[in-house]
């Protein structure tokens, strides 16, 4: 089973799971709500309106044939779509805006993503829908789309890209040229925000998964318009994202600020005439499968299943029309799979990509100096995340996202200087939740609050929501100085850790993982043969990863 068939079959097998999230009590005030924690469990005080996007999944399954699907024409799906549409129409603010994470949020993302889903569902179902509901949905869609036209979200560029697609499809459905014009204006704003390295800012930083998503939604709008005259910037961001694809076409979630490992299946089909990498990916997805690993970031739980389950179906539909360009151009080998690709440094993103005859590697300075190596012959993967230091009942670590970490391709290797931070995970307190609720009781308060939150997110280098990444908190006074040298068969990692005060050696841990398994926290005293003093003010470690030996360091040298 190829990747597209695998993912569509997974969606088909998950339909009952999707339906189980929806309130089907026709007497309930939340009839049609797809957020189980809100309408049934009462563990959320706001309905996440983005979960209504699953109506597009059900509309596509009801209308089209897919591998492993027995749902075409199934009346329960049409009933569910109509219930979910009704809830979406009735539970918006008077101006057409919606909430996603908290009451009063009036989120651009919620409006953009659901407008896209609703517009395409209405287009897909057409006269199959009840005529009165269709009229009601069109009116609601027009109001939410109008709300979008008066706003931009270049702070998270992928939201802006979804806004482009949302207004493009709403404009087509409603025959509203003003919506189409605003979609094109939003498209120009995205292009103007592109960095010299090709990526678009997310929370002021870089995220590979959202690079794919931005290219995907813009490409869908361009396909609808049959106008690819401005495709070049989005080919650049797509090709940039392809630099970090592992040989199995997966991503490391540590590479970007939002920790999003999403790999598009839609963009390869739509950008194939313009990108050699896209042609190569489209062929790969049509021949082999990444299995569950290829969909767990988008459909591995109920929240993401509701929001993203339509993507494999759209990818399958678009791939049906995938053809090689008329000149027969072949795809380009994905860089991590190409022993002749050479090295590529993206200093502003804090990333480097290395290709050698026996292995390829990603070096993420922005992730605290992460080194990830892929063996070509045996498929082995080794990831060195750095260190953890036990401290006051918790830990301190270099493992965080910070794009302005010192990063230089020095003589003989890449040099990284990473601060070591106390581990800090975001969890809002009860008073903070109450304050947020009060501040967002008006539309003006919501806008001001969102701007303040965005300032914090940019400074901390985290998405906060949907991310459990360590925050860039106050510097602990400890520093990791790392040098990584890449030979033909061997990667040498030389680390010098400096402490501002003496540290007990039994509180120092090495963080690494093998073959995509969870991170191992290994005591330094268990890893090295050298007898170290009980307390140290610094330590130098050398690790050698040899491709023919499976990449995991056999011996770690240490000296103080």
Which segments in the chain show pLDDT lower than 70?
322-330, 460, 463-469, 472-474
Cα angle 197, 365, 249; round to 5: 70
Q: Strands 381-391, 394-397: parallel, antiparallel or unpaired by DSSP?
A: antiparallel
Output the CA torsion 273→316→206→152 (10° steps): 90
pLDDT at 468: 66
pLDDT at 324: 54
CB distance 291 to 239 below 8 Å: no
Under DSSP, the state recorded for 156 is: B
pLDDT at 325: 57
Under DSSP, the state recorded for 203 is: T
Give residue for tokens 């694809």. 245
pLDDT at 244: 97
Classify each residue of 105-142 as buried b or exposed e, where b means 16 or more C-beta atoms within 10 Å of its C-beta. Answer: bbbbbbbbbbbbbbbbbbebbeeebeeebbeebbebbb
Q: Give the pair of three-digit tokens for residue 146.
A: 């109008």
CB distance 124 to 80 below 8 Å: no
| Gap between the Cα atoms of 500 and 479, Å rounded | 9
Give the 3-state secondary structure of 87-125: HHHHCCCCCCCCCCCCCCCCCHHHHHHHHHHHHHHHHHH
What domains does the chain contain, in order, with CATH numbers?
3-320 (1.50.10.100), 339-426+462-559 (no CATH)
pLDDT digits (tens, 9 = 90+) for 82-103: 999 999 999 999 999 999 988 8
pLDDT at 328: 54
Q: Give the pair of three-digit tokens for residue 214.
A: 């931005």
CA 269 to chain centre: 19
Cα distances (angstroms) measured from residue 308 to each of 155, 208, 314, 405, 467: 22, 17, 11, 33, 17
| Gap between the Cα atoms of 251 and 28, Å rounded | 42
Q: Give the pair of three-digit tokens for residue 111.
A: 């409006």
Q: Enumerate the β-bridge partners of residue 536.
A: 503
| Gap between the Cα atoms of 25 and 32, Å rounded | 8
pLDDT digits (tens, 9 = 90+) for 479-538: 999 999 999 999 999 999 999 889 999 999 999 999 888 999 999 999 988 888 999 999
pLDDT at 210: 96
pLDDT at 425: 75
Q: Give the pair of three-digit tokens for residue 125.
A: 């179902």
pLDDT at 465: 65
Q: Strands 406-408, 394-397: parallel, antiparallel or unpaired by DSSP?
A: unpaired
pLDDT at 539: 93
Predicted structure pTM score: 0.92
For residue 342, the tally of other CB atoms under 10 A from its CB is 11
pLDDT at 431: 83
């Amino acid at each position: 089973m190829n990747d597209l068939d695998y993912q569509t079959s997974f969606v088909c097998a998950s339909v009952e799971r999707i339906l189980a999230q929806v309130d089907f009590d026709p007497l309930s005030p939340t009839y049609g709500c797809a957020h189980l924690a809100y309408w049934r469990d009462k563990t959320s005080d706001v309905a996440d309106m983005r979960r209504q996007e699953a109506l597009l999944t059900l509309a596509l399954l009801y209308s089209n044939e897919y591998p492993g699907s027995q749902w075409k024409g199934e009346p329960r799906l049409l009933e569910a779509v109509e219930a979910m549409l009704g809830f979406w129409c009735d539970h918006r603010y008077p101006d057409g805006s919606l909430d996603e994470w908290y009451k009063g949020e009036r989120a651009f993302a919620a409006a953009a993503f659901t407008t896209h889903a609703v517009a395409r569902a209405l287009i897909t179902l057409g006269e199959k829908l009840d005529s009165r509901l269709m009229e009601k949905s069109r009116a609601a869609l027009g109001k939410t789309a109008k709300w979008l036209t008066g706003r931009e979200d270049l702070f998270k560029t992928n939201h802006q890209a979804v806004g482009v697609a949302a207004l493009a499809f709403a404009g087509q459905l409603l025959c509203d040229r003003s919506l189409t014009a605003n979609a094109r204006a939003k498209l120009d704003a995205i292009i103007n925000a592109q960095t010299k390295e090709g990526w678009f800012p997310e929370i002021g930083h870089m995220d590979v998964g959202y690079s794919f998503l931005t290219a995907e939604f813009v490409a869908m709008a361009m396909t609808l318009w049959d106008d690819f005259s401005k495709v070049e910037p989005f080919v650049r961001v797509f090709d940039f994202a392809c630099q970090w694809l592992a040989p199995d076409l997966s991503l490391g979630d540590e590479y970007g600020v939002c920790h999003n490992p999403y790999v598009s299946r839609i963009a390869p089909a739509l950008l194939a005439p313009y990108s050699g990498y896209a042609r190569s990916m489209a062929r790969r997805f049509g021949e082999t499968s990444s299995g569950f690993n290829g969909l767990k970031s988008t459909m591995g739980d109920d929240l993401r299943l509701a929001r993203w389950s339509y993507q494999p179906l759209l990818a399958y539909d678009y791939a049906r029309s995938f053809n090689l360009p008329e000149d027969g151009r072949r795809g380009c080998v994905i860089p991590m799979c190409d022993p002749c690709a050479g090295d590529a440094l993206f200093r502003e993103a804090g990333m480097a990509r290395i290709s050698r005859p026996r292995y390829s590697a990603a070096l993420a300075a922005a992730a605290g100096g992460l080194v990830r190596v892929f063996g070509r012959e045996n498929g082995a993967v080794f990831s060195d995340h750095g260190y953890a230091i036990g401290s006051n009942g918790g830990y301190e670590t270099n493992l965080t996202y910070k794009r302005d970490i010192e990063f230089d391709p020095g003589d003989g290797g890449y040099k990284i200087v990473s601060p070591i931070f106390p581990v800090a995970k975001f969890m809002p307190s009860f008073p903070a939740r109450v304050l947020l609720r009060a501040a967002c009781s008006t539309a003006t308060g919501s806008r001001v609050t969102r701007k303040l939150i965005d300032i914090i997110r940019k400074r901390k280098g985290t998405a906060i929501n949907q991310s459990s990444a360590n925050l860039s908190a106050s510097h602990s006074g400890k520093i990791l100085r790392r040098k990584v040298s890449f030979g033909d068969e061997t990667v040498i990692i030389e680390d010098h850790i400096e402490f501002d005060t003496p540290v007990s050696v039994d509180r120092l841990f090495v963080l690494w993982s093998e073959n995509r398994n969870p991170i191992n926290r290994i005591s330094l005293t268990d890893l090295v043969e050298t007898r170290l003093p009980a307390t140290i003010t610094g330590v130098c470690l050398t690790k050698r990863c040899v491709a023919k030996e499976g990449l995991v360091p056999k011996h770690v040298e240490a000296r103080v």
